[in-house]
């Protein structure tokens, strides 16, 4: 037997040694999926003789990609050729477009914008709708491969038409300014492959063995892109867990993993059910909970660790007492030798974090709220990045308008509007306008001189960069005082952030000596929320943010009906239950589940019932019983929003009844607790 297979269990070995045709590795939480995936990659290269450059391994976050790359390269003995490509979906799109975006007459020197940039562009389009809604809906269109023209044809109401109008304007703005957003990295890659069959075949032959991590999180666009990459072969291996599919709200399609065997012929499924993370007590509760779901492939996690401490239930009068109880338990854990970074508190709703913070502060426990403003989205860091983008592309109007008064230069809004209007009407870059048409713009000589001075600095820094990257950084720090943009009240924090950024830039250059400033900017733009390390603090985060993490001591709060699970007309109770499953399986040794009798939420004190998930997990002997006789097919029922409707079908969903109701020709699925008989 090959040495590379040592340490693998039988199922992991089977998955590793599967060579040709489609393979679904159904990997439960803590079952060693990363080990299996990286070992399989090494096995293909070292034992079978597949060229490393013929493989492509895709995942979702930079952190996951870096971890897999590190593990794989340590396993692979064949170091004689180029390393395998192991990256995020979006990094693959970026690399592809650098070579092939010219196929749609776009310049490869495009600017990759992040979410913050995207929202700023949309905000300037003067819509009455919220920027967040518009940004989200535009993403949904792109990830479902719907163009503005196609969206127009399906427009329904005034709000929908307004969204499509902004989508059209936003797309036109990106094209005019040679910009791409994250969604474009995959959408345009797919469109180029779809419209160029020969290129599609060439790329498919190049990457003859494809592996995908976290397959349950893929959306429609990612699935269609994978189909293109598999055009010339069927060698796709995906790793995922349908029980951890929790991103339906942002486009992930659980059917991609559920229907894998139908979508890729000759597909084989191997289940990894041996768990190396959690105790038997924790897994028994998680298995019991998820078994209430019906839309799943099915598996049962078995603990390789064995028995541990029983799960502890924390019952409190209200959220204040809950926070104090949790803080005191954490204090005891710390006093008994627990490390801060081994402890986490999870909540279904971010609003629940406020009272928890109060409790932790009262006990002087260091904590960090995960999911707040990302480092690269802080104003002072965005300013530096905008300067860097201008140095890469001096005709980047978007970046220039951000830094025109950063640091303060006395150029007011009237002057800025005149400048923007002139370049937009004449379809010019600001740089070209200032160099060739400055007398036509209609702004004062003083301001023209100031703007010319900015471009002189940019060109000077560009020349220094060509000679020395480290010299460029020192010159940049001397010439651009970003701190002068802000008030003095938060100067210490902003200075610390700026210093940290400069330190990171130095490290990046030392680790990537051949990288360009453009490479650095692209890597920063592709960074994600999950890339930050957690040290010397208790972690507080939403259940969504916790996916992929594990903690020795875990507290799950807010386990009440309406809070976890959330109950509404649009609730997918099976996805809520999958969230519960994800939350439970983050715990390694000790799991604490907390509920309260009441909460103060959105200005109102609410009396609550404990979550059904506690009983479904086998922790209370009181699973809510649903009386099927309450509703029958063809009964008339009343809903507070949709009015009178007739039941046309009845389905059990765990302990609930899901009713399919015809409301005047529109069929909706509603939980039975939200309607009453007429």
Active-site residues, by number, are 33-34, 213-214, 244, 586
What is the Cα Rg of the chain in Å?
27
C-alpha closest to that of 135 among 111, 170, 160: 170
Q: Are strands 604-607 and 598-601 parallel, antiparallel or unpaired?
A: antiparallel
Residue 575 CA, chain-centre distance (Å), reads 17
Residue among 495, 404, 509, 429 nearest 465 (CA): 509
Q: Strands, DSSP E only, in 534-664?
A: 538-542, 551-556, 587-596, 598-601, 604-607, 636-639, 643-653, 656-663
| Residue in this structure with the two tokens 């492509």, named with its chain if needed | 56
* Cα–Cα distance, 308 to 590 (Å, whole number): 8
- Dihedral of alpha carbons 33, 36, 42, 44, sign: negative
Q: What is the DSSP string of 369-385?
A: ETTSS-GGGSHHHHHHH
Sorted by sequence, the CB contacts under 8 Å of residue 66 that are 6+ apart come out as: none
Across 519-577, the runs of DSSP E, i.e. the strands, are 538-542, 551-556
Q: What is the DSSP string of 25-88?
A: EEE-TTS-HHHHHHHHHHHIIIII---GGGEEEEES-HHHHHHHHHHHHHH----SSPPPEEEE
Token pair 């008989």 is found at 677
CA 411 – CA 443 distance, rounded (Å)? 10
Indicate the SS3 state at residue 631: coil
List all residues 6 or more positions away from 74 whose beta carbon is below 8 Å from its beta carbon. none
Do strands 656-663 and 666-671 pair parallel, antiparallel, or not at all (unpaired)? antiparallel
C-alpha pair distances (Å), 337 with each of 340, 341, 343, 652 = 9, 12, 12, 47
216 Cβ contact list (under 8 Å, min separation 6) = 240, 241, 242, 244, 245, 252, 254, 256, 257
Burial of 297 (0-12, 13-18, 19+ CB in 10 A): middle
Beta strand 268-272 with 23-27 is parallel
- Rounded CA-CA distance 370/545 in Å is 7
Rounded CA-CA distance 296/654 in Å is 13
Q: What is the DSSP secondary-structure string of 456-524?
A: HHHHHHHHHHHH-HHHHHHHHHHH--GGGGS-GGGHHHHHHHHHHHHHHHHHHHHH-TT--HHHHHHHH
In terms of phi and psi (left: phi > 0; alpha: psi -120 to 50; beta: otherwise), the region of 536 is: left
Rounded distance, CA 321 to CA 315, Å? 9
Q: Cα separation of 282 and 306, whole Å?
A: 10
Length of the chain: 678
How many C-beta atoms lie closer than 10 Å to residue 640's C-beta? 9
In DSSP terms, 553 is beta-bridged to 343, 590
Q: Which value, to the nearest 10 degrees, does the dihedral of the CA atoms of residues 389, 390, 393, 399 take?
A: 80
């Amino acid at each position: 037997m090959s040495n590379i297979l040592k340490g693998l269990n039988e199922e992991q070995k089977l998955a590793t040694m599967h060579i040709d045709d489609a393979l679904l590795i159904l990997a439960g939480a803590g079952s060693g999926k990363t080990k299996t995936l990286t070992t399989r990659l090494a096995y293909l290269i070292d034992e079978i003789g597949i060229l490393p450059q013929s493989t492509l391994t895709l995942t979702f976050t930079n952190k996951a990609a870096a971890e897999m790359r590190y593990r794989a390269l340590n396993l692979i003995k064949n170091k004689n050729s180029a390393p395998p490509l192991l990256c995020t979906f979006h990094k693959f799109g970026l690399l592809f477009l650098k070579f092939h975006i010219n196929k749609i007459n776009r310049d490869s020197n495009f600017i990759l914008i992040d979410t913050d940039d995207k929202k700023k562009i949309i905000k300037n389009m003067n819509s009455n709708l919220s920027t967040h809604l518009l940004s989200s809906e535009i993403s949904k269109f792109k990830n479902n491969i719907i163009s503005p023209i196609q969206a127009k044809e399906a427009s329904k109401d005034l709000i929908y038409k307004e969204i499509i109008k902004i989508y059209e304007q936003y797309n036109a703005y990106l094209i005019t300014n040679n910009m791409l957003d994250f969604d474009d990295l995959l959408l345009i890659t797919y469109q180029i492959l779809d419209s160029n069959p020969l290129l599609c075949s060439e790329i498919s032959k190049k990457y003859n063995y494809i592996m995908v991590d976290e397959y349950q999180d893929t959306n429609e666009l990612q699935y269609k892109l994978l189909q293109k990459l598999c055009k010339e072969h069927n060698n796709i291996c995906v790793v995922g867990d349908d029980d951890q599919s929790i991103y339906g709200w942002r486009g992930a399609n659980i059917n991609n993993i559920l229907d894998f065997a139908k979508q890729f012929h000759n597909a084989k499924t191997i289940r990894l059910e041996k768990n190396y993370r959690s105790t038997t007590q924790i897994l028994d509760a998680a298995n019991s909970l998820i078994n209430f779901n019906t839309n799943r492939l099915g598996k049962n996690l078995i603990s390789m660790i064995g028995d541990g401490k029983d799960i502890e239930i924390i019952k409190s009068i209200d959220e204040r007492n809950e926070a104090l109880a949790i803080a005191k338990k954490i204090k005891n854990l710390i006093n008994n030798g627990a490390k801060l970074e081994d402890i986490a508190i999870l909540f279904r709703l971010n609003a629940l974090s406020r009272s928890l913070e109060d409790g932790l502060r009262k006990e002087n426990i260091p904590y960090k709220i995960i999911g707040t403003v990302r480092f690269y989205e802080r104003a002072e860091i965005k300013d530096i990045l905008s300067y860097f983008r201008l140095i890469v592309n001096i005709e980047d109007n978007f970046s220039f308008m951000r830094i025109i008064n950063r640091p303060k230069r006395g150029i007011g809004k009237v002057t800025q509007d005149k400048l923007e209007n002139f370049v937009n009407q004449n379809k010019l870059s600001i740089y070209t306008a200032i160099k060739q048409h400055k007398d036509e713009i209609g702004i004062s000589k003083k301001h023209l001189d100031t703007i010319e001075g900015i471009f002189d600095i940019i060109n000077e820094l560009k020349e220094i960069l060509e000679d020395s990257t480290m010299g460029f950084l020192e010159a940049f720090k001397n010439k651009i005082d970003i701190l002068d943009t802000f008030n003095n009240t938060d100067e210490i924090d902003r200075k610390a952030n700026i210093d940290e950024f400069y330190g990171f830039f130095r490290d990046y250059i030392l680790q990537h000596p051949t990288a360009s400033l453009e490479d650095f900017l692209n890597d920063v733009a592709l960074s994600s929320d999950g890339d930050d390390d957690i040290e010397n603090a208790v972690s507080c985060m939403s259940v969504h943010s916790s996916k992929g993490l594990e903690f020795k001591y875990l507290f799950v709060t807010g386990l009440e009906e309406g809070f976890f699970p959330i109950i509404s007309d649009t609730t997918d109770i099976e996805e809520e239950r999958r969230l519960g499953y994800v939350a439970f399986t983050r715990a390694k040794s000790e799991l604490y589940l907390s509920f309260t009798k009441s909460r103060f939420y959105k200005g109102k004190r609410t009396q609550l019932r404990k979550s059904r998930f506690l009983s479904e997990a086998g922790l209370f002997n009181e699973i809510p019983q649903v009386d099927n006789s309450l509703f029958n097919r063809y009964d008339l029922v009343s809903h507070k929003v949709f009015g009178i409707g007739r039941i046309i079908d009845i389905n059990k969903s765990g302990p609930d009844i899901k009713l399919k109701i015809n409301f005047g020709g529109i069929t909706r699925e509603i939980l039975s607790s939200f309607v009453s008989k007429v």
